[in-house]
Structure 1
Amino acid sequence: MCFSAVFVILGILFCALCRCLECPFGCECFAVIRTVKCVSKDLLTAPENIPGYARTVIITGNNIHQIGPSSFTEPENITNIILSNNRLTEMASHTFSSLVNLRFLDLSGNQLALIHPEALSIPGSPLQELNLSQSLYNFTALTDLTTALRWGGLAGLLRLDLSGNKLALLPPGMFSHLPNLQQLFLTNNSLVAVYSGTFSGMNHLEVLDLTHNTFSTFRTDALLELDKLGDIRILLGNNPYTCSCEINEFVAWLNKSRAKVDVDAVRCASPGALTDARLRGLSIQDIGCVVPVLAEVADLTLQTSYVFLGLVLGLVGMVFLFVLYLNRKGMKKWINEMRDACRDVLEGYHYRYEIDSDPRLGHISADSRRAQRQSGISLSQQLPSDTSVAPTKTQVRQLTISPPVNL
């Protein structure tokens, strides 16, 4: 019995010794849970000779400034790697290309300043979750990350965390190469606006977290961009919203949007009278927006002016027609006189035209013309001697249109 117990103890010690021999320097290995932990060991490089049974590798709190293809070459079975708080500044190309089963990658709490375009490229696109919170050093690192997301072949990525990176601007189309992304976390940044095309290509997004940024409102193009995402969950709380007239459109969007918004956390930060007031349900009068009211009044005044102008013009037309009706006899007489006068003038012109166009009358001598004039005078003498009686139109016409004398 005693010998059996001794053999068991020796076996356990032997297995423990073998495990220690397999475990990298400065790390702790747990074969039962298939985990390797290298926490706060002041490592300068990624540990080598990681056991083949390892599925999870935790390397945190060290001084590893650079990782590359040589950092992880042997352990093909690793599914989770946590590299947080290691002061990483550079990721070389194809750093994780040998980890064909990698599902979860945590690079949070680092100071990445240089990310190569294919740093996240893994054959088969196995990566599903990527944590880059508090890991980007500056805006240049954001540009590098945008390129890495484009060329990394991350079609299978489902969750991306970019929280706490002091991001003030998201490049248009930054996430367009992540077609299956379901959760995007942008909390605790310095975003001030969402522009057209920011979330293009994200057809399967389910959660968008924009809390704890510096949004004061959302303008038309931003609201249209959010509407394109459909009825997803959008977190917009804990932003310094300014409840002035400019926020009226955002308030209207909150009241009618299909998206699931955390409306209880979307509150006014200013002015003082509306501090901590919920945006949903605010009226135009609450936010002091009088411009739309004045516009409506101006439109109503303009419509009233058009109606009044129409009434005045109608009244003037009726008066004009009434005056014409009262003077219909005088108007008729004046029209008849004008018609007779025009007829006389036209007949005179017609007769003169016939005389001028007749070739037989071209050789009339001056004597015959003089005789014609004398004949006209003798006819005029036949008129009544009383000058007070005016000649009739027929007499005037006979004097004017006298027949030519036969030669």
Structure 2
Amino acid sequence: MLDSSGPPLSAGMLEMSLREPPPASLGSWGLLLLSLLLAPLACPACPAPCECSEPARTVKCVLKELSAVPAEIPRYTRNLFITGNQIAHISSRDFQGLPNLVTLSLANNRISAVESQAFSALPSLRYLDLSNNRLATIHPDAFNSRNNSIRELNLSRSLYNSSAIRPVAAAIVQGGFRSLSKLELTNNEIVYLPLGMFSSLRSLRHLDLRNNSLVDIKNSTFAGLDLEHLDLTLNALKTLRIEALAELGRQLRLRLFLRDNPFVCNCDIEDLVSWLNQSQQVADVEKLACVFPRHLQNTSLMDLAGAELGCHTSQHRKNTLQTSYVFLGVVLGIIGVVFLFVLYLNRRGIKTWVNSTRDACRNFMEEYRYRYEIDSDPRVTQVSTLDI
């Protein structure tokens, strides 16, 4: 039996005693007691009902119907998977004490709100998956703007509605994503991209915007980036304007994907057609086709000619009409100058005619006034009657 009369053993003393070979007199009961005392030191607790693997530095809480992030996640954890639960909010207290966490998956949890400093205590985080949630609000300071090491961010099918892109954009702008190289925003019904949303992502190389509702790409949307992969398939793009095409053309390593957009083949698409014939950046250029108008439906954009769109004919008619207006204006101007010149040459005769006309009008008015005064005077009327 163990001698209990001495001072109690500390954890360090117990650990040192375990390293030394046990004395022959200790017995099996003594070894069992030592192993029970040292068990908490050797095997950190695993939060129920999760599954933990210390050799793999991994904790999994998958489909456990959790309503919050489990407390006391082991400090050794490098890979944490909390997926398929009922977690609605992520707060700054959820991931304290995990300085070595590299991979964090919070997919399919119905998360609607991410609070301030929610991920700021994770200086080693490289991969963050928030896909398949219902994000309505995310605080602009959700990430650590001073020490953000995230390289891949998955926000696919994660927004509650299209308007949720605004708080997400603010969080990306203020999050200090200096190392972010891959961003996924697929299946979010995004109609527009807020200006400057990607302006701070200098390391971004892969941007996935598939299956949204984007109707336009502005020239400043991807300005300053050096993308290698940009996927815009399955959106609502009718064309791309020349300014946006010029900005994409500056990114020499870019591979662009544009298929399954409702391209409208009218005069507005000529810039895009011309750019497609000159650029080698569009990976699926052979799959781009007209959707409207009906007589050009399924026509490849590469096969379009200006004559089919009727743009050059319309422009020729417009130019002809403008020329006609200019010619008419010149003729009228010449006629006006000639008319003024004739008036100038006949200025004396015109002056005489004006004076004679004025005198005639004056005499006529005086005679008319004289007759009016006679007719309106009753005495004159009586004298006239007596004379009769």
Separation of aligned partners in 1, 2:322 and 2:164 = 56
1:2-401 aligned at under 5 Å gives the runs 22-121=45-144, 123-202=146-225, 204-285=226-307, 288-296=308-316
Deviation for aligned residue 1:146: 1.6
1:55–1:80: 8 Å Cα contact kept in structure 2? Answer: yes
Q: 1:128 deviation in Å?
A: 0.5
* AA partner of residue 254 (structure 1): L
Matched to 2:147, the amino acid is: G
The whole-number CA distance in structure 2 between the counterparts of 1:291 and 1:33 is: 65
Deviation at residue 201 of structure 1 after TM alignment: 2.4
1:55 maps to a residue whose letter is: R
How many matched pairs? 291
Q: SS of the residue aligned with 1:280?
A: helix
Shift of 1:20: 8.4
Q: Residue by residue, what CA displacement relative to the aligned partner does 1:26-78 show, whole Å, maximum 9, x if unpaired?
A: 21112333221111111011012222332111111111111111000112111
Indicate the SS of the match to 1:249.
helix
Contact 2:162 2:188 in 1 (8 A): no
| Separation in 2, partners of 1:219, 1:68 | 42
Q: Provide, for residues 259-318 of structure 1, a one-character-per-residue CA deviation record: whole Å limited to 9, x for no partner.
A: 243212222223344333321232223xx32231343477689999x9xxxxxxxxxxxx
Deviation string 1:81-112 (CA, Å, 9 cap, x unpaired) is 00011111111111111111100000011111
1:379-400 Cα distance to aligned partner (Å, 9 max, x none): xxxxxxxxxxxxxxxxxxxxxx
CA distance in 2 between partners of 1:261 and 1:100 (Å): 37
CA distances 1:208-266 after superposition (whole Å, capped 9, x unpaired) = 11111011112233323323434411111111112233322211111012424321222
Contact 2:85 2:108 in 1 (8 A): yes
Flag the 1:301–1:47 CA change in 2: closer, same or farther, 3 A: closer
Is the contact made by 1:211 and 1:239 (CA closer than 8 Å) also made in structure 2? Answer: yes
Distance 1:186 1:71 in 2: 30
Which ranges of 4 or more aligned residues in structure 1 deviate by more than 6 Å?
17-21, 300-304
**Shift, 1:24, TM fit:** 1.1
Answer with 120-129 or 102-111: which moved more.
Answer: 120-129
Taking structure 1 as the reference length, what is the TM-score of the superposition? 0.65
CA contact (8 A) 2:121 2:144 kept: no
Task: Tell me the CA shift for residue 135 of structure 1.
Answer: 1.1
Cα separation, partners in 2 of 1:221 and 1:25, compared to 1, 3 Å:
same
For 1:242 and 1:36, the matched residues in 2 are separated by: 51
Report the TM-score, using the length of structure 2 for normalisation: 0.68
Aligned to 1:361: none
Q: In the superposition, relative to structure 1, how do residues 249 and 36 fare at CA in structure 2: closer, same or farther (>3 Å)?
A: same
Superposition RMSD in Å: 2.9
The letter for the 1-side match of 2:309 is C
- Aligned in 2, Cα 1:178/1:298: closer, same or farther, shift over 3 Å? closer
User: For 1:296 and 1:261, how far apart are their aligned partners in 2?
Assistant: 35
Which amino acid letter does the alignment assign opposite residue 312 of structure 2? P
**Structure 2 residue identity aligned to 1:241:** F
- Residues 100-158 of structure 1: per-residue CA shift (max 9 Å, x gap): 11000000111111111110225422110111111122344221112111211111111
Contact kept? 2:276, 2:282, Cα under 8 Å: no
Structure 2 Cα separation of the partners of residues 301 and 272 of structure 1: 30
Give the whole-Å Cα distance in 2 for the aligned partners of 1:177 and 1:298: 45
| Stretches of structure 2 lacking an aligned partner (at least 5 in a row) | 1-31, 327-388
CA contact (8 A) 1:100 1:122 kept: no
Matched residues in 1 for 2:240 and 2:45: separation? 56
Q: Supply the AA of the counterpart residue of 1:249.
A: D
Equivalent residues of 1:154, 1:178 under 8 A apart: yes
Q: Which moved more, 1:93-102 or 1:220-229?
A: 220-229
